[in-house]
Amino acid sequence: MEIKALNIDESARQNAQAWLDGDYDEATKQAIREMAEQNPQELNESFYRHLEFGTGGLRGIMGVGTNRMNRYTVAMATQGLANYVSKAVGAEAGELRAAVSHDSRNHSREFAEITASVLAANGFKVYLFESMRPTPELSFAVRHFHCHTGVMLTASHNPKEYNGYKAYWSDGCQLTAPHDTAVIDEVLKIKAVSDVKMTGGEANIVSIGEEVDKVYLAQVEHNALNPELIRKHHDLKIVYTPLHGTGITLIPRMLKQLGFTNVNIVEAQAVPDGNFPTTPSPNPEERAAMSMAVELAKEIDADIVFASDPDADRVGVAVKRPDGEWMLLNGNQTMSVLFYYIVGQWQQKQLLTGNEYMVKTIVTSELPADIAIRAGVKIYDVLTGFKFIAGKIRELEGVETFIAGGEESYGYMIGDFVRDKDAVSACSMIAEIAAWAREQGKTFFDVLVDIYMRYGFYKEGLVSVVRKGKSGAEEIEQMMRDYRSNPPAAIDGDRVVCIKDYLRHESRDIESGRVETIDLPTSNVLQFFTASGNKITVRPSGTEPKIKYYFSVKGELCCKECFDQVNGELDAKIESIKRDMKLV
C-alpha cells in the first residue's frame, strides 16, 4: 500500500511509508493502514516527527508511529544510544556497562527488556533490575556499577497514555549537552528497524535487585541528621501513597529502617498499576492525586502526608494547619523547609566550612536562595531540569561541597550519591523534619510559618497552557516569538524593569538599556522582573505539550495569626497578574 491521502503531511507520509515498507510486525502495519484510511490526522500526529530528547529525555504517547512510544522507537533510541556511547567512550574503556530500570506504567517492563536486549546485543554488560524500581535508584546503580550509561523507562507523572525513556551518563546524571543531541543524531541515522541489533547478547544481561536496594538505602539512611529524634518520635503518624508507582518498593521500607513505626499506606493506591485507576493523574502536584491520602490523614489525625509519583522522584506534601484543616504545599514551600532544616542543622553541628553550596533552578522561588545565603552557603541557579543541577555537581566535584538541590516541580536531592531528584531521600528527610518539629512542640506547618516570618512570605503560582500536537507546538513557538518581539512594558500596572532572555543569553535593564550576558546553556525561557520585585517566567515545557507561566510575589508576615490574610493578599496579586496576561 502506498500512502497518498492529500491531507497527510509529507514528513508524516514519508515516515509512515517507511514503516509500511520496512521490517515491522503486521499489527503495526495494519494500524498504519487504518490511520491512513480512517484517521489521517492521527497518522499526522503519530508520524510527523521523531520523538526528541527534552529536559526529561524521550517521552510521548504510547502507540504506533515515529512520534509515539513503542517497541520500535525504544529499540531505535537504544541503538542510537549504544552507538554514541561506544564512540564517545572508546575502546580503551574495556567492557561497556549499562543499567536499566522501569516504573509501573503499561509496557514499561517490555520496553526495559527491549532496551536491555539492544544494549546487550551491542556488547554492553547490562544490569537490569528484576522488577520496577524508582528513578533515583537507577541513577545510583549507574554509579554503583561504574556504568557508562543507564536508562529508566518512565513518563514520570504524566497521564497513563504516556511512557518515556530517560537516558543517563556515567555520572548518574541525565544526558546533557553535547551528549543529548549527539544521541539523537545517532538515532536519526537509523533508517529502519533492521539497523537495530536486537538479539545475541542475552548472556550479557545480569538481573539485579535486593543487593542494590541495600546499598542504596544505606546511603539514604546516612542522610539523617538527627536519628535520635526519629527514635524518640518513632510513633509519628505518617500517611504515604505511592500513587500506584514504584515508591511502594522502597519508601515504606526506608521509613521503617530509619525507625518510624506508624507509617500508614493508602492501600487502594499501593498496588502498582499503569492505569492509575484511583486518580485522574498520578501527579502529586495535583490536588486530586493527594485526596485519598488526605482523607486517611483526617481519619487517623496524622502528623504529615506525602505522595510520590510513579517513578518516585517527585514528592507531594500535605500538612495540618492549626485549625485542623490540611494544606497542600507547593514545591517551593517543601524545598524551602528542606533547605531551612538542612542548613540549620549543618550550622548547629558546625559542619559548614564556607565551601558548601546548594542549587536551585531559575523558575524556583528565591526563598531557598535567601535561606542559603544568610547561612553563608553559596547558591547556584541553573536551567529547569535536574540534569542541570547534577551538571553543576559534576562541574564542582572535588572543589566545593554539595549539600542539597531542588526545583519548584516537587523534585529534591539531598547529598550527591544520586544525581537526579529522589523521593526516597526526600520523604525520609521530610519525616525527620516532622519529628524535629514535634520535639519543639511544633508541626511542619509551624516550621513553614517560622520561615516566612524570618525571610518574608514568598508566594508562587503556575499556569500551564496546553497545546497538543503539531499545531500546538507551532502555536507555542509563535507565543514565545511574540513575547520577544513585543515584550510587556508593564504587568498588572507594575513596570517591567528587567528582561532575561535565556535563548539569547541576555539580561536587559530596561531603564538604562544595559545588557549583561547570562552564562547558562541556551534555553527558550523569558523572565520579566517588575519594579515591585515580582518575577514572571515563561517557558515551553521540555517534556509535555504546554507552555508554562511561573509567578513569584512577596509580602511580609508579622505574626502567625496573619498567615491567612497575607496568603490571601498574595493570591489576589497573582490572580491579578494572570488576568492582566489574559491567562484566566
Residue 439, C-alpha cell as written in the block: 520535639
Helices (H) then strands (E): counts for the chain:
18, 23
**pLDDT higher than threshold 60 for residue 188:** yes
Helix (H, G, I), strand (E, B) or coil at 237: coil
263 or 56, higher pLDDT: 263
Set out the domains of the chain in order of their start, with CATH numbers: 1-48 (no CATH), 53-208 (3.40.120.10), 228-455 (3.40.120.10), 458-580 (3.30.310)
Q: Give me the count of residues in the chain.
A: 584
**The pLDDT value given to residue 414:** 98
**The pLDDT value given to residue 86:** 95
Report the distance separating Cα 100 and Cα 151, nearest Å.
5
Report the distance separating Cα 258 and Cα 256, nearest Å.
5
- Split at pLDDT 50, 70, 90, the class of 7 is confident
**Beta strands at 326-328 and 411-414: parallel, antiparallel or unpaired:** unpaired
Interval 246-266 mean pLDDT = 98
Kindly report, residue by residue over 146-171, the tens digit of the pLDDT. Answer: 999 999 999 998 899 999 999 999 99
Which residues lie closer than 8 Å to 54 by C-beta, 6 or more apart?
541, 542, 543
Give 396: exposed, middle or buried? Use CB within 10 Å, 0-12, 13-18, 19+. Answer: middle
**pLDDT higher than threshold 60 for residue 61:** yes
Which among 295, 302, 279, 243 has a CA at the least distance from the CA of 423? 243
- Split at pLDDT 50, 70, 90, the class of 43 is very high
Which among 550, 529, 324 has a CA at the least distance from the CA of 445? 324
Which residues lie closer than 8 Å to 443 by C-beta, 6 or more apart?
303, 319, 320, 434, 437
- Answer whether the bond into residue 227 is a cis peptide, omega within 30°: no
* Least confident range of 26-30, 65-69, 468-472, 580-584: 468-472
Residue 66, C-alpha cell as written in the block: 515515529
Q: 443: phi > 0 → left, psi -120 to 50 → alpha, else beta; which?
A: beta
Q: For residue 359, report the phi and psi dihedrals to the nearest 5 degrees.
A: -135, 140
Q: For residue 77, report the phi and psi dihedrals to the nearest 5 degrees.
A: -60, -40
Inter-residue contact 358 to 372 (CB < 8 Å): yes
Which among 87, 80, 71 has a CA at the least distance from the CA of 52? 80
Which residues lie closer than 8 Å to 125 by C-beta, 6 or more apart?
95, 96, 97, 98, 204, 206
Residue 497, C-alpha cell as written in the block: 524593569
Report the distance separating Cα 341 and Cα 333, nearest Å.
12
Interval 118-139 mean pLDDT = 98
Interval 238-253 mean pLDDT = 98
Which residues lie closer than 8 Å to 422 by C-beta, 6 or more apart?
134, 136, 139, 220, 313, 412, 413, 414
Report the distance separating Cα 226 and Cα 437, nearest Å.
12
Burial 279-308 (b: 16+ CB within 10 A, else e): bebbbbbeeebbbbbbebbeeeebbbbbbb
**The pLDDT value given to residue 543:** 64
**pLDDT higher than threshold 80 for residue 92:** no
Inter-residue contact 225 to 349 (CB < 8 Å): yes
**pLDDT higher than threshold 60 for residue 55:** no
Share in percent of the chain as helix, strand, coil (round to 5):
40, 20, 35
Kindly report, residue by residue over 207-225, the tens digit of the pLDDT. Answer: 999 999 999 999 999 999 9
Report the distance separating Cα 173 and Cα 147, nearest Å.
12
% the chain with pLDDT above 90: 86
Report the distance separating Cα 317 and Cα 341, nearest Å.
16
**The pLDDT value given to residue 62:** 97
Kindly report, residue by residue over 317-359, the tens digit of the pLDDT. Answer: 999 999 999 999 999 999 999 999 999 999 999 999 999 999 9
Sheet of 304-308, strand order: 263-265, 238-241, 304-308, 315-320, 326-328
**pLDDT higher than threshold 80 for residue 1:** no
Helix (H, G, I), strand (E, B) or coil at 257: helix
Indicate which residues carry an active-site annotation.
Answer: 156
**Which residues pair with residue 501 across a beta bridge?**
506, 526
- Split at pLDDT 50, 70, 90, the class of 6 is low
Inter-residue contact 282 to 245 (CB < 8 Å): yes
Radius of gyration of the chain (CA): 24
Which among 134, 157, 464, 409 has a CA at the least distance from the CA of 280? 157
- Split at pLDDT 50, 70, 90, the class of 527 is very high
Report the distance separating Cα 577 and Cα 124, nearest Å.
53
* Least confident range of 351-365, 471-485, 542-556: 542-556
Residue 114, C-alpha cell as written in the block: 527491549
**The pLDDT value given to residue 54:** 58
Inter-residue contact 492 to 577 (CB < 8 Å): yes
184 or 503, higher pLDDT: 503
Sole residue written with cell 485526596: 291
* H or E stretch at 249: helix 247-258
- Split at pLDDT 50, 70, 90, the class of 468 is confident
**pLDDT higher than threshold 80 for residue 254:** yes
- Split at pLDDT 50, 70, 90, the class of 53 is low
Distances (CA, A) of 96 to 80, 91, 211: 15, 9, 21
Residue 441, C-alpha cell as written in the block: 512542640
Inter-residue contact 408 to 285 (CB < 8 Å): no
**The pLDDT value given to residue 353:** 96
Report the distance separating Cα 69 and Cα 155, nearest Å.
10
Question: DSSP string covering 320-336, please?
Answer: E-TTS-EEEPPHHHHHH
**The pLDDT value given to residue 336:** 98
Terminal Cα distance for the chain, rounded: 48
Interval 373-384 mean pLDDT = 95
Which among 256, 219, 204 has a CA at the least distance from the CA of 140? 219
Kindly report, residue by residue over 269-311, the tens digit of the pLDDT. Answer: 999 999 999 999 999 999 999 999 999 999 999 999 999 999 9
Alpha helices in 22-166 (DSSP H): 26-38, 40-47, 71-89, 108-121, 135-144
